[in-house]
Structure 1
Amino acid sequence: MSSAQPRTFRAIAVQPKWSADDFVSAEAFRAWMRSQLELARPHLHPTRPNLVVLTELNGLPLVLRGSPLAARAGTFERAALLLFLSRLPSVLPVLLRERVSPIRALQLAAWPINTRLYLHTCRDLAREYGVYLCCGSTPMPRLSLRAGRIVREAGTLTNQTVILDPEGRLIGATDKVHLTPAEGAGGVDLTPGPLSELRVFPTPVGDLGVGISLDAFRADVIGKLEAQGCTVLLQPDANGAPWTSLEGLPPDPNNVRDQTVAWLESAWTATTSGKSIRYAVNPMVVGNLLDLSFDGQSAITGRAEDAPKLQSYVLTDPRPGFLALAPWVQNSGTPEELRQLGLNLAVRSGHPRENAYRTDLLHADLTLSAMTLTPPPRTSHELALEALLDEASAPVMTAGRWLPLAIVAGLTALLLRLWRRRR
């Protein structure tokens, strides 16, 4: 495509439903990821570039890989304990050497296999389907190359998005800057990314800027991307609450607005009230995963004049700006009925509609002016990611045998007590 030509392309947002069983093996994970591209296949434009955007934290449950028992533990806390017990020989050195929490040590210890599995799966799918692929996001360490070797930065684990071209080559990577409480020290224990490193990546499918979930609500992130000429905002999302519940995130945890009202402050506001951002793609994962519930309505948004049809999220008034919007499981009823339905869908509700979330796929044909921006220089981390993507895919080994439980249980209980006392 000549740089002088307008860019016309198709954007696709995939709204999948996940379960713990999708992550117990490399084969299960690859099949789940492939199913999302298969869902997109009938909607790929035959002659224009296609941009496919996947959901936030779609690689997080890979921590369950090789441990079917942990996947059936019922809660993330029990699953983490079982995983810690079975993987103590690899986790303990990380925990002690890098002075991180047990949950972060568990994820860092598995990075060589899980990061490669994630990246190689996305690379192969981008090539096979011939699409620009926003892989979603996954917990990933920061890496660098030293004397040709890939080296991990000690202690760091960010929520990270990787964007690939149709040849499976790296376009760029972005860390999430603003973490939710569930991503912080009391939950998954991730590291916030630096705002200063947010960049825009010019491509035939837009000048791509990433605002992972909460980042797309924050003025500092949107302002940073707009200052660099972002035209397409990518917002991978995993909303870990009933969609019709009340908002309770910082900076005001006592906020009593409907969550869907708050959601209008992210992609929709960025495109209808912003400066350079013309379009936004916001895919959301749904489904009950162990003891957590995920729900939402995926959307592709634009300027009001580009999307004059009046529509909006459930519990909000119709408005222009939605180019494509996934219906919720039910869009009619009183606010009280809809809020109750959100609870009925959630894990352990015992209701006949428990986990009956809606999967979906959205697409919209978008047009932008000719590309004028130049790609930003590679970071040291991106150079290391390129090296990983250039590797041939290798078989993924399963977890080894469990150590004697009596010994490991005692050590684990002691370590957890010491960690909690430190905090």
Structure 2
Amino acid sequence: MWCFSALPIAGLQAREFRAFAVTHFHQLDQVHSIASFRAAVRAQFARDIAPKLRDDVPNFVSYPENQTLMAYFVGERGALGRALLDEAGAVPALASLTGPYAPQIALYAARFPGVDAPGQLLNLALTDTLARLIGVFAELSAEYGVYLFVSSNLAPFERIDGPQAAPFADPLHFDGHAFVATEPNVRNRNFVFGPNGELITVQDKAYLVPLERERGLGLGLRGIQTVDLPAFDLPFARIATVISKDAWMIDVNDRLDQLGAELMLQPEAYGSWGLPAGDLWPPDKLQRGGWWMLQKHPALAANVTPMLVGNLGDQVFDGQSLPCTAWSYRR
């Protein structure tokens, strides 16, 4: 994990902040239950982040792309998938979830009749599980008074209460409410929580890698159009998110420059998809994403890249979180 303090735009007062780019090593022993996932996240925050927070400037904590990826296999419903990951690989392990989540898959197939991609239906069925796990990050943002960014594959969702919520929840752990998708398109999303724990905004990924976009054996996600990518203001900077592959896309970065983004947040799950045969050495290829775009575009002053590490079966995630700046060139 990297943390640093900086003044993004010279000459402007009260713009100093402390940034944390979190390296999360996702492991199977973290997802035996929702409680174990929450405990692992909280333990890392208390050990590595809380002691370094500043009380005189805003703090923001950025987690990697797909922070909840391993949590697809959380709890009793993920037990077979956990067993299959190392033995058979990610795709068979994901496919094994269609049995335990069959009731929810059927509900969403009826709720959204046009959806027939298995991965998309599975992701919809996982809505309640993943939304509950995202909740721990909202709690941490409020508990420690920080801005917090965290990524997960989710469709827009809402909370419903009462008996009608039960079919969407884990039948072994129903607690009176569930989180239910309100539309069918599942996206790779970065959730932004404020220091009071409230959701400020959600930023979505445009360019998907094969495992994400494939409709058959993939996750069946949907990207957004480049023209729909936003930038938004926090007290210390105008921020835009480039989720992994987006950081290499010229049209994405040109748009963010036009929107006046100052800080580029680049949550990463950098791995197998970025290593085609005969291509660049991975660290050099990573540098040609956000770091290069930072040097190219006048508005951009800083890049923060939190990195997911740890294998998901045969899907390798390996890299290093980093912050970088172009301030020395623009003072």
Q: TM-score interval w.r.t. the shorter chain?
A: 0.7 to 0.9
Going from structure 1 to structure 2, the CA distance change for 1:306 and 1:46 (only over 3 Å counts) comes to farther
Whether the 8 Å contact between 2:153 and 2:187 is mirrored in structure 1 is yes
| Residue 52, structure 1, aligned to residue 61, structure 2 | yes
Identify the residue that residue 210 of structure 1 maps to in structure 2.
241
Structure 2 residue aligned with 1:71: 82
Tell me the residue number matched to 2:176. Answer: none
Structure 1 residue 35: deviation in Å?
A: 2.9
1:108 is matched with 124
Contact 2:27-2:70 at 8 Å conserved across structures: no
Q: For the residues of structure 1 that align with 2:101 and 2:185, how far apart are their CA atoms?
A: 20
- Correspondence for 1:195 among 226, 234, 237: 226
Q: Would the alpha carbon gap of residues 12 and 154 (structure 1) be closer, same or farther in structure 2, given more than 3 Å must change?
A: closer
From 287, 309, 313, give the equivalent of 2:310.
Answer: 287
Give RMSD over aligned pairs: 2.6
Query: Measured at CA, do residues 205 and 33 of structure 1 come closer, stay the same or move farther in structure 2, by a change above 3 Å?
Result: farther
Equivalent in the alignment of 1:271? 294
Q: Partner of 1:261: helix, strand, or coil?
A: helix
Aligned-partner residue type, residue 175 of structure 1: D
The sequence identity of aligned pairs, in percent, is: 28
- TM-score calculated relative to the size of structure 2: 0.81
Equivalent residue for 1:80? Answer: 94
Contact conserved, 2:130 with 2:152, CA < 8 A, in 1?
no
How many pairs align?
293
CA distance in 1, matches of 2:312, 2:260: 37
Q: Residue 37 of structure 2: SS of its match in structure 1? A: helix
Question: CA–CA distance in 2 between the matches of 1:255 and 1:95?
Answer: 42
Mapped to 1, the partners of 2:180 and 2:97 lie a distance apart of 24
Tell me: CA distance 1:124–1:160, structure 2 relative to 1, closer, same or farther (3 Å).
same
Q: Is the Cα–Cα contact under 8 Å of residues 98 and 154 in structure 1 kept in the other structure?
A: no
The amino acid that maps onto 2:315 is L
Q: Say which SS state the counterpart of residue 161 (structure 1) adopts.
A: strand
Q: Secondary structure of the equivalent of 1:99?
A: coil
Q: Which residue of 2 aligns with 1:33?
A: 41
1:363-383 deviation digits (Å, cap 9, x = unpaired): xxxxx9xxxxxxxxxxxxxxx
Residue 256 of structure 1: how far off its partner (Å): 2.2
Q: For the residues of structure 2 that align with 1:100 and 1:205, how far apart are their CA atoms?
A: 44
Residue 238 of structure 1, CA deviation: 0.4
Q: Provide, for residues 111-167 of structure 1, a one-character-per-residue CA deviation record: whole Å limited to 9, x for no partner.
A: 13421x1332111010112111111x110103589xxx9873443100000111111
- What is the CA-CA distance between 1:208 and the residue it aligns to? 1.0
Written as runs of structure 1 = structure 2, the 5 A alignment for 1:151-300 is 152-185=181-214, 186-241=217-272, 247-248=275-276, 256-300=279-323
Post-superposition offset of 1:62 = 2.5
Q: Is it true that 1:15 corresponds to 2:46 in the alignment?
A: no
Q: Are the structure 2 counterparts of residues 281 and 15 from structure 1 closer, same or farther at C-alpha, using a change threshold of 3 Å?
A: same
Structure 1 residues 240 and 257: CA distance shift in structure 2, 3 A: closer
Q: Deviations over 1:52-102 (max 9, x none)?
A: 110000123332122223212122233223221222222134346343222
Contact persistence 1:127–1:166 (CA under 8 A): yes
Would you identify which runs of 4 or more consecutive aligned residues in structure 1 move more than 4 Å? none
Amino acid at match of 1:229: G
Q: Is the 8 A contact 2:25 2:308 kept in 1?
A: yes
Residue ranges of structure 2 left out of the alignment (5+ in a row): 1-11, 160-164, 166-178
Q: What amino acid sits opposite 2:84 in the alignment?
A: A
Contact 1:51 1:205 in 2 (8 A): no
TM-score of the aligned structures, taking structure 1 as reference length? 0.64
The aligned counterpart of 2:5 is none
Q: 1:187 to 1:91 in 2, by over 3 A?
A: same
Give 1 or 2 for the bigger CA radius of gyration.
1
Counterpart secondary structure, 1:56: coil
